[in-house]
Amino acid sequence: MAYSMDLRVRVVEYARTVKGGQKKAAALFQVGLATVKRWLKREKLEADKPGSKDANSLNREELKAVVEERPDLYLDEYAQILKSKPSTVHYNLKVLKISRKKNHALRRKK
């Protein structure tokens, strides 16, 4: 959870005005020392915007079609075909409730 702007401003002002202020500010306002140092380095105190949600960028219908066409591929191979990451493919396969069949039909023939 992000800290409020008024807290950030108070911590930075306190840390800049008091001698040894970084540690004192962290203890007084109950925030981490690394957080205080990071805020002091920044030009703006606004919270970072969240990054893109990569798992939502994959077209699930396209993934479903590729899996039906070639069910024997590994995650990294699906990711290569779909120009994505294996973790994204794995997440979307879970959402689609598609799992790897461990007792493949070819294995049973042997």
Query: How far is residue 61's CA from residue 78's CA, in Å, rounded to a whole number?
Result: 13
> How far apart are alpha carbons 32 and 13 in whole angstroms?
16
Q: Give the domain range for residue 82.
A: 54-100
* Confidence (pTM): 0.45
Mean pLDDT by 10 residues, the chain (110 residues): 85 88 91 92 73 70 92 89 89 87 56
Question: What is the model's pLDDT at position 80?
Answer: 92
| pLDDT in the model for residue 19 | 85
Beta carbons of 26 and 36 less than 8 angstroms apart: yes
Q: Are residues 37 and 68 in the same domain?
A: no
Number of domains within the chain: 2
**Residue 110 maps to a domain:** no
Identify whether residues 61 and 90 lie together within a single domain.
Answer: yes
